[in-house]
Chain A
């Protein structure tokens, strides 16, 4: 098999999922920050752009529903679709990721050894994915408590709702910062990809880049190495 110039890293389904996630995250962040920073110029500006307090809430909850819809589909996708399931198995965190992280620090800080070799998803990307999953649950659960506050107050004490509001606000801010700083830097703004990686648009990654950033996946695809990370871990697990 003759290696092509590029291969597809994300198929169309994943790209659409990513796009919906991106749009809903942007909208939820903007409408959420308007409320979180209500007493600053930023909050006032966002609130005005979003059409006032009431409209801000409607937009926020609309995109929350879109996000939840995406979450439900994603759940279905990784459980019941073969491609989704396979993709999911590649992003499950394993012991190797911890070792990779240590190896990465050793190499970067101390200059010892080699940089770790990643599969389709390196430890940073896995961390990002699982961060989003955790954030999703925190935000959806706390969000529903706040959305249906009368129902919540019928059964829950006031302090619980107060704490929920604080949780929702800070967790939202955290997710915003992680996505818009950490994620954007890692994927787009770092010197290798600046100003932008095109993977999220056409799903394609150049072989050169694949070899450099995901060497194990490259090997797996082109030199008949063990077909998945799971198998690599296999020996380790059997012990």
Chain B
């Protein structure tokens, strides 16, 4: 941490306790120079200086733009400290927005962006990289860089920049981020111009950008349902009651949160074939856990559900593109999946007839209670097992006999020919 001048610290503390206008008044007293004084030099369009990275940059300030900004009634020296005389030093202390915006600043510094900035990472975004500088507008203003309509584009400036991501191993690959553009959220944002869809900040937070591994992060697995639920409230409630929701809440991190089935940046609606939760892909998605031997052992999940489903008529039909047939979700439910022992479960014996009846109206209770997608072993399904065994043997023996028959037939022919040859 840099050493703050005690006065500034005092002001910052005061800013928390007092109303902002008072802080502004107090701040304004720090700098003695009016905007007009500064503009004597900074109105010059050709004025240049050198920034911290050593690049030559324009030092021109457009007063007309500044006058439309949210800080229009503040003095230059309210933000730009260290100016005791005019002309001032070429190198001034960094603008510290946190002097007034303390809560945001603390979140920012705890987040990854702030931490990188503190490390002196030249790519790290500072306040003004997202919010703007002299043109800064309140977030509610439609033209603000951080207005909902614009903010995601601001994030993408860096996060799809291959040069920047190449320099930072900890940043996700641009493709990962770009997938958002094609997602149901991104399409709503980019194509439909919606501001109610999930944007970057809705899941990642604005200032407190924590890694998903941090338990305080909105992206931490246990917090994901809450994060998604801030828009998808009813689905969250449904999910919380499910076997998956309960498990995750009780700290079973292998239990799926929203993102495990739906994806993250690339979430697609189930109606799109490419979606992880489209009828065609659901079995594969569920199988990523339910076909996992280690998980099955650890939590005593029934094994081989995927393979036996794929071998069933439903599975075969689905594989060949018949999406009308039952997939996992058709019988087990979607967000409200419960074990068959739970009376609320769609596959509880009492509810089976209704569940199967969705597609097979009038199904009898005997059929509805039958076993589905299980291995045909002598213990579980005698009939299937023995018929299969019988035919396997029967066909094998018959085919062997057939080969034998041809042999016998050939011998017979030779004998016949010989016999006739002898007779004539």
**Bound-state Cα–Cα, A128 to B387, Å:** 23
CB-defined contacts of A38 to chain B, threshold 8 Å: 316, 319-320
CB-defined contacts of B322 to chain A, threshold 8 Å: 53-54
Contact B412 A104 (CB under 8 A): yes
**Bound-state Cα–Cα, A50 to B372, Å:** 28
Contact B384 A163 (CB under 8 A): yes
Closest CB-CB distance, A166 to chain B, in whole Å? 5
| Residue A210 lies at the interface, judged by CB distance under 8 Å to chain B | no
Q: Which of A7-15, A21-29, A173-181, A200-208 contacts B (4 or more CB under 8 A)?
A: A173-181
CB-defined contacts of B361 to chain A, threshold 8 Å: 150
Q: Which of B151-159, B218-226, B265-273, B391-399 contacts A (4 or more CB under 8 A)?
A: B391-399
Closest CB-CB distance, B404 to chain A, in whole Å? 10
CB-defined interface of A157-176 with B at 8 Å, one 1/0 digit per residue?
A: 11111110111001101100
CB-defined contacts of A95 to chain B, threshold 8 Å: none
| Residue B313 lies at the interface, judged by CB distance under 8 Å to chain A | yes
**Bound-state Cα–Cα, A115 to B419, Å:** 10
CB-defined contacts of B416 to chain A, threshold 8 Å: 115
CB-defined contacts of B51 to chain A, threshold 8 Å: none
| Residue B408 lies at the interface, judged by CB distance under 8 Å to chain A | yes
Interface set, chain A 98-127, CB cutoff 8 A to B: 104-105, 107-109, 111, 115
Closest CB-CB distance, A184 to chain B, in whole Å? 11
Residue of chain A at shortest CB distance from B364:
A154
Residue of chain B at shortest CB distance from A114:
B419
Known: A38-B320, A108-B408. A154 touches B387 (CB 8 A): no
**Bound-state Cα–Cα, A166 to B405, Å:** 28
Residue of chain A at shortest CB distance from B394:
A174
Contact B367 A162 (CB under 8 A): no
Known: A162-B384, A171-B391. A177 touches B320 (CB 8 A): no
Contact B369 A158 (CB under 8 A): yes
CB-defined contacts of B383 to chain A, threshold 8 Å: 159-160, 162-163, 166
**Bound-state Cα–Cα, A132 to B388, Å:** 21
**Bound-state Cα–Cα, A54 to B318, Å:** 11
**Considering only CB atoms and an 8 Å cut-off, how many residues of chain B contact the other chain?**
44
Known: A157-B370, A161-B367. A177 touches B395 (CB 8 A): yes
CB-defined contacts of B53 to chain A, threshold 8 Å: none
**Bound-state Cα–Cα, A156 to B362, Å:** 12
CB-defined contacts of A159 to chain B, threshold 8 Å: 370-371, 381, 383-384
Interface set, chain B 398-424, CB cutoff 8 A to A: 398-399, 402, 405-406, 408-409, 411-413, 415-416
| Residue A191 lies at the interface, judged by CB distance under 8 Å to chain B | yes
**Bound-state Cα–Cα, A105 to B401, Å:** 13
Known: A53-B321, A170-B387, A177-B395. A154 touches B413 (CB 8 A): no
Q: How many A-B residue pairs have CB under 8 A?
A: 108
The residue that B320 contacts in the complex, of A52, A150, A157, A181, with Cβ under 8 A, is A52
**Bound-state Cα–Cα, A17 to B317, Å:** 34
| Residue A182 lies at the interface, judged by CB distance under 8 Å to chain B | yes
CB-defined interface of B338-377 with A at 8 Å, one 1/0 digit per residue?
A: 0000000000000000001000111110111111100010
**Bound-state Cα–Cα, A47 to B319, Å:** 11
CB-defined interface of A33-54 with B at 8 Å, one 1/0 digit per residue?
A: 0010011000000010000111
Contact A173 B363 (CB under 8 A): no
**Is the contact region of chain A dominated by helix, strand, or loop, or is it mixed?**
helix
Contact B370 A115 (CB under 8 A): no
Residue of chain A at shortest CB distance from B371:
A158
Closest CB-CB distance, B409 to chain A, in whole Å? 7
Known: A109-B408, A150-B361, A177-B399. A162 touches B415 (CB 8 A): no
**Bound-state Cα–Cα, A166 to B313, Å:** 11
| Residue A233 lies at the interface, judged by CB distance under 8 Å to chain B | no
| Residue A190 lies at the interface, judged by CB distance under 8 Å to chain B | yes
| Residue A155 lies at the interface, judged by CB distance under 8 Å to chain B | yes
Contact B370 A154 (CB under 8 A): no
CB-defined contacts of A39 to chain B, threshold 8 Å: 310-311
The residue that B364 contacts in the complex, of A155, A166, A191, with Cβ under 8 A, is A155
CB-defined contacts of B369 to chain A, threshold 8 Å: 158
Closest CB-CB distance, B283 to chain A, in whole Å? 14
| Residue A230 lies at the interface, judged by CB distance under 8 Å to chain B | no
| Residue A185 lies at the interface, judged by CB distance under 8 Å to chain B | yes
Contact B367 A154 (CB under 8 A): yes
Known: A53-B317, A53-B321, A174-B398. A166 touches B370 (CB 8 A): no
Binding site for B on A (CB under 8 A): 35, 38-39, 47, 52-54, 104-105, 107-109, 111, 115, 149-163, 165-167, 170-171, 173-174, 177-178, 181-182, 185, 190-191
6 contacting pairs across A/B (C-beta < 8 A): A111-B415, A151-B362, A153-B356, A155-B364, A165-B313, A177-B395
Given contacts A35-B316, A159-B383, list 19 more A-B pairs with CB under 8 A.
A53-B317, A108-B415, A109-B408, A109-B411, A150-B360, A151-B362, A153-B356, A153-B364, A158-B367, A159-B371, A162-B381, A163-B383, A166-B383, A166-B384, A170-B388, A171-B391, A174-B395, A177-B398, A190-B409
